Structure 1
Amino acid sequence: MLSRLTVLGLVALSALPVRAADADWPAFGRDATNRNFSALGLIDRGNVARLRPAWLFQTGVTGYFQAQPVMVESTLYVSTTGNNVAALDARTGRALWTYTHRARTEKIFGPPSNRGVAVAGGLVYQATMDGRVIALDAKTGALVWDHEAVRPEEGETETASGLAETLGGKPVQGSSRLGFKMPPLVAEGLVIVGVTGAGYGLHVEDAQGGLDGGAVVGIEGGYGRRGWLAAYDAKTGAERWRWYVTKEDGWEGDFVAKTADGEPLHRDVAAERSAAPAHREAWRVGGGSLWMTPAHDPELGLIYLGTGNPAPQNFGLSRPGDNLYTMSLVALDIRTGKLRWHYQQVPHEQWGYDVASPPVLLDWRAPDGRTVKAVASASKTGWVYVHDRATGALLQRSEPLIAQKNLYQPPSPEGTVVSPGPLGAVSWPPTAYDPNTGRAYIQVRHGAATYTVKTVPGGPGRPEIRYTETSEARGEPSFSTLSAVDLAGSGRILWSVRAGSRLSGGTLATAGGLVFSGEEDGHLDAHDAETGKILWRFQCGAGISGPAVTYALDGRQYVAVAAGGASFTKGSGFGTGDALLVFALPE
C-alpha cells in the first residue's frame, strides 16, 4: 500500500514566464520523440547550485524503483515496483489517489520493477509484471479496464528441476516468463507495449550472484519464448494487432559473415548450416524481449523499437542463422503492426547485446547540407547508430563509446573475454538529446565479461548438456562515464566524464544548459551540458535507477526523480529505497 507523503519544505515562485507547452512532462521521454529534453530554463548553469528538495513522497514499497514520473495538468503520476500507482499534487506532493495492484501470479520475470505509466484522454495506462495492461481513471484511480495479455508462466517447461542436479546443484530457473516493464506508448487511439523475458531460456545463478544478480547461462535447446509487441484499443483494452519478433519464415536469414556496418562476426557458418535442418522450429522459442517504449513519427505513421537477444542466450548452435528480427532496430506501421524495415545490429548474437535503450528521433545533417529525418539507437556494442527514419538506411555510426575488446569473438571452452559485456555499453536507460545543439547525453558502462562454453557429460537416460556461462571478467576495468556525442552530423564524442559509481536510470537534458544523471550510490548529479562538469549533486538516500523529469507550475521549475536502487545494488553496499524526490530553487 502506498504511504503518505513527507513535505520537506516549500520554495518560492519565479516570476519568469513559462510557455504552457513546455510546462508538462506528459509522457515517457516527454513526448513520442523519446528525447528526454525539456525547453525549460528557469534552472540553469548559474543557479543550479542552489537547487534544494521541495518535497518527497514515500511509496511504502522498497526496492527497484525505476519509474519515470509523468506530469499532466498539475498532477504527477508515478508507478512503483509491484505496479502500484499514485497521483500526486505536483506542487506539494499531496496524494490525490493511490492504486494498489494485486498480481494474479507470483511467477514473474525478474525483480518486480516497473518503468512508468502513460497518461492520455483522462486515463492512466500501465503494463504490469504479471502480464496485464490496465487503464485507470486519471481523476480517481478507479480501474476502467483490465486486459490479461499473457500469463507469465505460460509455456514453461519442467526441465529446470531435473537440470539442477546435473549442473552441480546450482539453482536453475525454468523457461523465460513473459511480462511487461516498459511504459506504454499511447498514440492514434492505441496503447502499445511489448513483453520482456523472452530471450533467456534456462539460466543458472552462481554462488557470488554473478552479473546483475545471476550468471546468465545459455543452455543448448529450445527453452526460450517468442517475444512480441501488441497494440490495444485505448478505450476498451481489446487487442488490435500483434507483431512477433522472431520471423516465422526464414528467420535464419543469410548466415552473414559480417554485421551490416562491416564488423566480422567470427561465426562458424558451416557448422550452423549443418545444424539448421534439425532446428527449423527454433523461431517458435527464439526470444527477442522488448525492453523500452517505442518512438513514434505521426507523419510517417511509424513506430521505432529495439529488440532483444535470441534464445537460448549466449548459445547459438541450437538456433542456427541470423535469428531475424532479434537484436534489431525495427520500424512498424502503427496502424497494422506490419514491419516496414529493420536493421539487425548483431546477427546470431551470443553476448547479450540487446537493443534496449529507447530509440530517439532527431534531425541529421548530411554532408551535402540536407536535413534528414532520422532515428538514433544507442547500443550495448558501444556505438550509436543513426538511420534514415523512412528507409532504415544507416546514415552514421558514432565513435566507440568504450574500449572494445574481442568484439563478436564467440564463447569458448577456455573462456573468451569480451568488452563490452552484457550490461553495456548502453543498456535500457534512456538517452537525452538536445535538438538545439544536436548533442546526445549518454550513460555508458565500461566493462568486460568472460564467456565460457561448458559441457556436462551424459549418463544413463541423460543426454550431454552444453551451455555458456557468463561472468564478470577479472582484472578488466569496470566503471561508468557520462558522455556527450554529436549526433547531428559528425558522431564525435565531445566530452566524457567518469562517474564515482555506476550510472543508471538515464539522462535528462534541459534548455538551461544542464544534464541530470543518476548514480547507483544515490547521487543525482547536474552537469554542465557544454563541458560535463558537475555543478550540483544531491544524495537521495538510495540508488537512482530511473530517469529524472522536469516540469513547471506557476512559474516554478521542478526536477523529480525516483530513488529506489536496482537489482544490481545487491551486494554493492548501496541500499534500496522508496522515495520520489522533487527539487526546486529556494526563494
Structure 2
Amino acid sequence: MPIRFPSLAPALAVACFSLTGCGAGDVPPVQREALPPVLAERHADWRHYGGDEGGARFVSHAQITPDNVATLQPAWTYHTGDLAPETFPDAFNSPALQVTPILARNTLYLCSPRNRVIALDPVTGEERWHYDADPALVGLYSVTCRGVAFHESPAAPSGQACAARILAGTLDGRLLALDADSGQPCRDFGESGEIDLTADLGDVRPAEYALTSAPTVVGDRVVVGAHVADLRRGGVPSGVVRAFDVHSGKQVWDWEALPPEQRVEGSYLPGTPNAWAPFSADSERGLVFIPTGNPAGDYYGGERNGRDTFGSSVVALDALTGERRWSYQTVHHDIWDYDVPSQPVLIDYPGPEGPVPALVQATKMGFLFVLNRETGEPLLPIEERPAPRGGPAPEALSPTQPWPVLPDPLHPTELTEDDMFGFLWFDRQACIKQFRSLNYAGLYTPISTEPTLVYPGFMGGSNWGSVSWDPQRKLLLANTSRVPAVIELIPRDVVEAPGFSERVELQLDTPYAVKRRPMLSPLGAPCTRPPWGVLTAIDMTTGRKAWEVPLGGTRDLAPFPLWLNLGVPNSGGSLVTASGLTFIAAATDSYLRAFATDTGEELWKARLPAGGHATPMSYTGEDGAQYVVIAASGNRMLGSRMGDAIVAFRLP
C-alpha cells in the first residue's frame, strides 16, 4: 500500500509566517584543487548511471559556471508518453520517471516507467529509436525505471550488430540486451535477446519481482539484483544477485545474502535480502559493491533464522567470481525498513597520508559510513552504541547498533517534545499530544503492537538518490527528508477477525500485519519543525558539515501566495560540476536548482513541467554546448505535479 502525503494547502492557508532556517550564511570558500588529467577524463562522459562506475555524479565539463548559470534556458523537451491513464490500467500507483540517462556513442539512452528503452539525439532531443518491453504491470506499486547500462566490444568488426549494446531490466523480471544503434534485440543474448530472471526462483507471484535500477556492467559481466516486494509474505522470491556474460547471457555466478552454511547449491531461499538500489563498481580492483535490503518479515524480526546476516549492508563481491570479499552491516537485525537504499559512492578519501580508496554509503538513518574500498574497514570512527530493547520479539533485536561518529549525521538523531511543530497553537498541541502517546525511545525504538514513532521515517533520511562527490573541493553533497513515521504491528488474529476493515499491509507468514503512516498534524503538515528537506555539504577533510540549506518550497502543495521556502520532502539526487555548481531538483515544487557548491547559495532555478524526482546528468554535445538533463514526471505519493518529460538546459 503506497503512503501518500496530503497537500499542505490547508495548513498553509491558515498561517503565513517567517521561519529562520539553516541557511548558507557567511560560509568561507572551500579550497579547490586542480582536477588531475586522469580524473578529468574519467568524468568527461556519462556512460554509467551515476556518471562514472563509482557513482560520483560529477562532471569535468565547466562551460556552465556560477557566473553564467543565471542565463541557463531550456534547449529541448522529450515526452515519453507514459503518463496516459490507459498505459497503466491495472497499476495502483502512477508512473514515476526517475531515470538518469546515460551518454554513449553520441546518443542519450534511457528508459521510461513502463520499460520503453529510448535513444535520443543529445543536441536536439529527437528520438532515434525506442523498444517497448511491454512488461506486466498488474498489482505494481513501484512503476519506475531508473536507468540502463551500456557495453561496447572494441574488437568487434565495424558495423556488426550488437557490437555495442544497451542492457535494461523490466518490471516483470527480465533482463534485455538491445543493439545500441538500432534498438533491436541482440539475438545471441539469452533467449532472443532477453533472460527471464524469475525462472529459477520458485514461487514468484505477479508484481513481486522487478528490476527498477540500472544493471551494472563490469568488464564482460552484467550484474543485477532486483526489487522484491515488501510487506507481502515471507515466501517472496530470493533477493539473489547474479552476473551474466554480457554477450551470451549465460549466468556466470550468483550470490545470495546468506551465511555460506545456509546456501543450497542450485536453489535459492525465499525471503532473503534483496538488492534493489543501484550498484557501483571498481574495474581496476575487480569489485562490485552491493547495497542490500532487509529480509522478508520487514517489520517483524522473529523467525529470520540467519537471513539477516547480510541484510541492510554494503557488500563487496569479486566481479569475476561473485565471491564475497568483505561486507559491512549498517543496521543489525533491521526491523525499521532501514534497508540500504542507494548506490555506494566511490571516492579517494583525503587521508592524512594521502588519498585512500574509499566507499561512502548513505543510509535512511541519515548516517554516512566511510569505508576502505579494499577491506571494508572504517576510515572514520564508528561506535557500537546500546540500542533500545522491547517489541514482540526482543530476542531477535541487537543490543547495539553501529553509529558513525564522523561524518556529521545528515539527519537529526533524536526527537523531543520541543521539536513538535504546528502552524497554529492547536495544531502544535495536537502534535505534542500525539508525540506523548507514541512508543518512542529514540533511534532504533523496537516496532511494537502500540503505535511506534520512527524517526527518520521509512522514506529516510537519505534514499535512492544517494550523494554526489566533488573531488576538487572534497565536498560530499547530500539531500535528505525529515518526516517522522508512525508504525504499528497488528496481530494476525485481529486482522483476520470478522469486521476488521482497517487498511494494513499484510506481511503474511508472520504473526503481524503492519499499519504505517507519516506523522502529520491535523492541518496536514509534518509534526516536526521545518525544514522538512535539506541539501547538505560535508567537508570530507574534517567530516563536518560545510553548509546546509532548505531544499524546495511549498509551491505545488499550496496556493499562491503561500509559497514558502521551508524545505520539503524530496526524492532524487544531485549533480556536481567542476566549475562549482550543484544541480538538483528532487523537491515537490517542480524546480531544477543550481547551488554554489562552495557556499550553498542558490544561484538559479527553472520551472519544470512536473516534479523532478530524478538525478540530473550533464555532457557536452557535438555542437560544443554543455547540457544539463533532468527527468520530470512528478510523484503522486509526494503530492508533486505529474508529467512525462525529459528536459535539457543549455546556455543561450
Give the counterpart of 2:462 among 426, 439, 447: 426
Taking the aligned partners of 1:483 and 1:504, their CA distance within structure 2 comes to 15
Match of 1:231 in 2: 243
Change (3 A) 1:564 1:306: same
Q: Choose 132-141 or 398-407, whichever is displaced more.
A: 398-407
Taking the aligned partners of 1:549 and 1:537, their CA distance within structure 2 comes to 16
Match of 2:111 in 1: 79
Taking the aligned partners of 2:200 and 2:451, their CA distance within structure 1 comes to 33
Structure-to-structure mapping, 1:55-74, within 5 angstroms = 55-62=76-83, 63-74=95-106
More strand by share: 1
Change (3 A) 1:21 1:296: closer
Moved over 4 A (4+): 19-23, 151-154, 458-465
Match of 1:516 in 2: 583
Overall identity of the aligned pairs, in %: 32
Q: Deviation digits for residues 159-184 of structure 1, max 9, x if unmatched?
A: xxxxxxxxxxxxxxx9x711101111
Aligned-partner residue type, residue 544 of structure 2: R
Q: Deviation digits for residues 175-224 of structure 1, max 9, x if unmatched?
A: x711101111112101111111155334xxxxxxxxxxxxxxxxxxx344
Give the counterpart of 2:535 among 482, 486, 501: 482
- 1:308 and 2:354 aligned: no
Taking the aligned partners of 1:138 and 1:321, their CA distance within structure 2 comes to 43
- 1:563 and 2:632 aligned: yes
Change (3 A) 1:31 1:464: closer
Taking the aligned partners of 1:454 and 1:423, their CA distance within structure 2 comes to 21
Q: Choose 455-464 or 236-245, whichever is displaced more.
A: 455-464
Match of 2:486 in 1: 450
Taking the aligned partners of 2:592 and 2:534, their CA distance within structure 1 comes to 14
Check conservation: 2:297, 2:510, Cα contact below 8 A.
Answer: no
Question: Once the 2 structures are TM-superposed, how far is the Cα of residue 82 of structure 1 from its aligned partner?
Answer: 0.6
Change (3 A) 1:225 1:407: farther
Structure-to-structure mapping, 1:212-251, within 5 angstroms = 222-247=234-259, 249=261
Change (3 A) 1:412 1:20: closer
Secondary structure of 2:177's aligned partner: strand
Give the counterpart of 1:371 among 347, 355, 380: 355
Match of 1:14 in 2: none
Match of 1:438 in 2: 474
Q: What TM-score do the two structures reach when normalised by structure 1?
A: 0.80
- 1:401 and 2:437 aligned: no
Change (3 A) 1:301 1:153: closer
Aligned-partner residue type, residue 127 of structure 1: G
Q: Choose 396-405 or 547-556, whichever is displaced more.
A: 396-405
Q: Choose 186-195 or 312-321, whichever is displaced more.
A: 312-321
Structure-to-structure mapping, 1:482-561, within 5 angstroms = 482-487=535-540, 489-499=541-551, 500=553, 501-518=568-585, 519-553=587-621, 554-561=623-630
Question: Once the 2 structures are TM-superposed, how far is the Cα of residue 416 of structure 1 from its aligned partner?
Answer: 2.0
Check conservation: 1:183, 1:293, Cα contact below 8 A.
Answer: yes
Secondary structure of 2:70's aligned partner: helix
Match of 1:254 in 2: none
Taking the aligned partners of 1:21 and 1:292, their CA distance within structure 2 comes to 23
Structure-to-structure mapping, 1:147-296, within 5 angstroms = 147-150=195-198, 155-156=203-204, 177-197=208-228, 199-202=230-233, 222-247=234-259, 249=261, 284-296=269-281
Q: Deviation digits for residues 488-518 of structure 1, max 9, x if unmatched?
A: x322111111122332210100011111111
Question: Could you list the runs of 5+ residues in structure 2 that have no partner in the other structure?
Answer: 1-39, 84-94, 153-163, 187-192, 381-403, 415-441, 499-507, 522-526, 554-567
Question: Could you list the runs of 5+ residues in structure 1 that have no partner in the other structure?
Answer: 1-18, 158-173, 203-221, 252-282
Aligned-partner residue type, residue 442 of structure 1: A
Check conservation: 1:201, 1:225, Cα contact below 8 A.
Answer: no
Aligned-partner residue type, residue 342 of structure 1: S
- 1:329 and 2:314 aligned: yes
Check conservation: 1:356, 1:379, Cα contact below 8 A.
Answer: yes
Match of 1:410 in 2: 446
Question: Once the 2 structures are TM-superposed, how far is the Cα of residue 455 of structure 1 from its aligned partner?
Answer: 2.0
Give the counterpart of 2:127 among 95, 98, 119: 95
Give the counterpart of 2:515 among 469, 494, 505: 469
Secondary structure of 1:505's aligned partner: coil
Check conservation: 1:86, 1:98, Cα contact below 8 A.
Answer: yes
Q: What TM-score do the two structures reach when normalised by structure 2?
A: 0.72
Aligned-partner residue type, residue 584 of structure 1: R
Match of 1:33 in 2: 54
Check conservation: 1:44, 1:514, Cα contact below 8 A.
Answer: yes
Aligned-partner residue type, residue 461 of structure 2: A
Change (3 A) 1:409 1:321: farther
Change (3 A) 1:322 1:191: closer
Match of 2:425 in 1: none
Structure-to-structure mapping, 1:133-148, within 5 angstroms = 133-144=175-186, 145-148=193-196
Check conservation: 1:426, 1:445, Cα contact below 8 A.
Answer: yes
Change (3 A) 1:449 1:321: farther
Change (3 A) 1:460 1:131: closer
Question: Once the 2 structures are TM-superposed, how far is the Cα of residue 30 of structure 1 from its aligned partner?
Answer: 1.1
Q: Deviation digits for residues 361-399 of structure 1, max 9, x if unmatched?
A: 111133x42432111101111110100111111112311
Check conservation: 1:286, 1:319, Cα contact below 8 A.
Answer: no
Aligned-partner residue type, residue 73 of structure 1: R
Aligned-partner residue type, residue 65 of structure 2: D
Give the aligned CA root-mean-square deviation in angstroms: 2.5
Check conservation: 1:36, 1:430, Cα contact below 8 A.
Answer: no
Taking the aligned partners of 1:98 and 1:457, their CA distance within structure 2 comes to 50
- Aligned residue pair count: 495
Taking the aligned partners of 1:235 and 1:464, their CA distance within structure 2 comes to 42
Change (3 A) 1:457 1:125: closer
Aligned-partner residue type, residue 155 of structure 1: D
Question: Once the 2 structures are TM-superposed, how far is the Cα of residue 419 of structure 1 from its aligned partner?
Answer: 0.9
Taking the aligned partners of 1:413 and 1:154, their CA distance within structure 2 comes to 33
Aligned-partner residue type, residue 181 of structure 2: K
Taking the aligned partners of 1:186 and 1:386, their CA distance within structure 2 comes to 24
Aligned-partner residue type, residue 537 of structure 1: K
Give the counterpart of 1:392 among 376, 386, 389: 376
Q: Deviation digits for residues 456-490 of structure 1, max 9, x if unmatched?
A: 43789999943343221245327110111123x32
Secondary structure of 2:486's aligned partner: strand
Taking the aligned partners of 2:651 and 2:308, their CA distance within structure 1 comes to 51
Taking the aligned partners of 1:150 and 1:190, their CA distance within structure 2 comes to 19
Match of 1:54 in 2: 75
Change (3 A) 1:153 1:371: closer
Taking the aligned partners of 1:94 and 1:341, their CA distance within structure 2 comes to 45
Give the counterpart of 2:643 among 577, 581, 585: 577
Aligned-partner residue type, residue 537 of structure 2: A
Question: Once the 2 structures are TM-superposed, how far is the Cα of residue 575 of structure 1 from its aligned partner?
Answer: 2.4
